[in-house]
Structure 1
Amino acid sequence: MALSKPVVPDTVQNEPVIGQHYLVCGSEGCEKNCLFYCNPCHRQMCEQCRDEHQKSPDTKKHEVVPYRQRKRQLPVEKCKDHPTKDIDMICEDCHVPVCSKCVIQDHQKHTLNDLETIYSEKFTLCLDEIYKIHQYFLPTSHDIQEDIKDNFKEIKATIDKIRTSIKAKAESLKRLVDTVASDEIEQVNKMEESLKEKLKSQDKTYQDYISYLEDLVREFHGYLSSTKVQSNPLILSQPYQMKIKPIPKTIIPVPPVFNAGQYSKEDVSKLLGRVTAPDTKPENRKIKPMKTASTQLKPTEQQRKQDREKSDVKRTLSLCSSFTKVREYTVPGVGNVWHISLGKAGRLWASEDIGNFVKTDLQGNQLQKIQTDGVYGYHTVTQDGDLIYTDRKNKVINTITLNNTITEFNKTVDWEPISIHSSHINGDILVGTIKNGEAKVTRYNKKGKEIQNIQRDNKGQGLYSDPRYITENINGDICTSDINKHAVVVVNKSGQHRFSYTGQGSMFNPYGICTDLLGHILVCSGPRLSVFLIPGNNSTVTLLDQHGQFLFLILTARQGVGFYRSLCVDDENNLHVGQHNTNTVKVYKYLQ
């Protein structure tokens, strides 16, 4: 049976997450994964225990639902008028929570409703609102703030051009235009200050709105954490009280225009030209609707076809109820499989830790071998099918084209390039680099032009220490394995820190990382190189959702694989896992 979604404890989506363990069946002695929930019994159960529960004469009529569709259990609270009775109903006429004795005494002809149902509905609504804030309102507001920053730059560039034009005219008119030029420049400066003030005001508007959203999240969290039913705003609140204020509308300022004139001694002011207010009517800033909040380039017909095909696959894909090995193969020409990348037409590139690259088919048949000076052999395959790899020793990124020509993609100057990934969304190249104890992730376009640097969070703290492996998720998130921080660090496409996953309690040493069509994050973890010879192997492959929630350990030492170091998901949604202590790659089915 295919699982609709693995079960993890409830947390608010998109919040920074420290890893959590999956739920287990609530039956005594059963340690299988919890998949279902009995609403009357408030009991979590696995598939087998669910079947037994529904066969029992005493419980066969119970409502058993998938765990995520369960009713939240109402916090136990005794009635203040009848201390032996629990409050479990709400009087719709009096709008107060009541117990069964209250009903008999004072509310017999009133409209009553199940308090647990209302509590569960409001609880879910609150989670949904928090999710929307984090998923849409906050990111969209941050995007608008980024637009405002761009407006600052555009205004500055335009004003600079106007200043240059004024100075050029003034130079040609010599001393006759000095006074007029000075007056005009002063006017320009006033306009610039006015535009800046408008932009500062807009920026503050959105900062205030973001603060309001953050306060609203805390308020909703307070609702969730309250254990007092009678005074809990979550239950007593009206729908309009939980409605989120819309994102403020602002206009994009339009810079002034310099209208150059003809000059003569008699009419210096006219000839110099004047800076005037723009005739163009300011436009309202575009606020993306919630359903289209994620921005992408306009797709081609081929891309639309591929997206439709992927969408069809995604609708039918789910996690397998058990993970099985499909096959295994050896990669000839390497001593270990330190890193693997999936190429086109079912081709796979594998490399060892001394920089040798081997291309194989998915059965391990060698198709090509290349020797390089690159340390560790971190590489990726571009949208064009070229192999691109980091040369840490020479601080350069190289490309190996389909005809085996090695060309320089980019020099990283003082920074040592280590991890690298080619975006499947837009073809950008993401590179993790280090220098003198600092680390960052740099984004290049296809031509090698640097277009983004991600180094610190919004508090100025360094996001990375040793970004050893890197990948990109379907929503544009950049996911990085940082061995020194013992964490998977995830930022959004704008470089804003989303969360860091740090394992399940024991020392977490992440290595290879990849994502799949459903947005899952898969990451290898295991012992550091310095402890390879110590008995006992705790290597694992962990499955997270795109919000950093722990779902499953797909592979552990029980599967008999050695030290996991690399992994990728092929076009048939099979997981390929490479190891540091052997050149064997094992293939597992985890989606169906």
Structure 2
Amino acid sequence: MLHPRRSAQDVLQCDLCKTVPQSRCEPCNVDLCNACVGKHISDLSKIHNVMSSLQRKSTPSYPKCPKHANKHSELYCEKCDIPVCSTCASEKHRGHNLCEVLENISSNLEELETRIYPRYEKMVSDLQTEKDELQTNYGKLITATDQQGEVLHREITAIVDQRKSDIEKIKNKHRAVLDKNTDEITNRITELKKIIEDLKKILNTKDASLISTYKSKNGEFRQLPPKVQVTSPSFSPSKIDKDHLNKMFGSMSSLSIITEKQGYTSKSPEAISFPPVKPLLDEPRLTASIDTGYGCRLRSVSCLSENKVWTCGDNKIMKLLNLQGTQLTSIQTESGDTPEDITVTQDGDLVYTDYNNKTVNLVKNKQIQTVITLQGWIPDILLKWIPFRRQRWTPRYVCNTSSGDLLVTMISDDRKQSKVVRYSGAKEKQTIQFDEQGQPLFSSGGYKYINENRNLDICVADIAAKAVVVVNQSGKLRFRYTGHYSNTKKSFTPVGITSDSQSHILTADWYNDCIHILDQDGQFLRYIQNCQLRRPLGLCVDIRDNLLVAEDTGYLKKIQYL
């Protein structure tokens, strides 16, 4: 330890005679040569402990206590993280965890060598392993992309070959029609030639018998035989919708970079997403307002294409409209009851739920097929007499998933339970009803619009619970969003729910005439307000991330917010 009056560049000297020291008095903190040791210890007013340089190298040199000049800091306070002397320990560090300084250092060294350092080495090893696997993992993505491309190429080649085959068949039929017409006319020509020859023979021979039997056939041939006119078919190529083609090819999930620190995780802004990030507009814009003709209570909307949407309201008719408000077609429910909710499949078919007859139905080529049928309804008064019977359920709201499954929210006939069921066709694949503690995830009543987010989370707008409930693909609760009251006057009333290409979750707040936009982790981002919204109900987002809002007023609003 350096003398307090010396710098690191000073030559060590005896504090009494300035010669080279061979010893040091630790309590007095002075360096001494051999000749000055006797003079120094002659001062009996102090306690001395003179050690030679060799002794000092083998004896721990504790730091001097800054508050007690005659004390050394031989102890270490773990709470305050500082060396202390025995006096400080008894005065200001009473009750703190104390240990010997060198013991603390030894303990720290052991922890560094046996626990901390190996963990750092393992992290580096894991990162190196991950880097080594990059080529393999991303090679699989490229292979999957190539395979999907080959599948599409084969499909397109098959379509082209089929069209060519159809063209060849039509051409052969066209030729056959022309050949038949040619044969008919050729036969008539042969007859004409024979008649002409006969007439010439009569004129040349002037045979009276031939003249007497002659009958003119000019009238018969004056009217020409019918000539068949065949129009060749034409080909009208459809305009290639790149967005639809890209969606049909398949989607790629985002590169998610999550940093774990002290048990908490946070997203990195360096994460790469597909498609590219679209920032929120400072002021969302109303770009269309369409009177759907339902009068009021427009329940739900689902996009068929960029300019076509299916709608349903408080009657038995479901309408396909364009965004100019023109009705393109309509479908009446098979039961004649009002549909509870609608969605559009990846193949462009309409699906609707029928609350009264407990069915989920598919509309394909204007033909209705019942895909899912639940057990019939039992009056509440009878349920208590037949407790051994299984609980019966009624389908309510529905959405199509990226995998082609259907997610259906259901309510029990006794109105005490709710759940979400995943179907593949008519087969039940998954039921989501309780959390890990066995508590219900959803309230027992009210609207429960449902949507699958881009990250495959299942999002339910639970109006009775005044919350958006989000679970992951396996049904484990991720979060509940219960509103953001910075700019609303009434309680949060979530109804319609949808999501966009950025994995934003959008939910309609019926009482507050606005839309809440959340990120995929449930953090509030902003409101959509001031777009002439009045009692919004159903929501959907088109392929360009425009928001379609079905209002309780019967109007459909189109809003640009990205």
TM-score (norm 1): 0.46
Q: Which has the larger radius of gyration?
A: 2
**Whose RCO is larger (CA < 8 A, sep 6+)?**
1
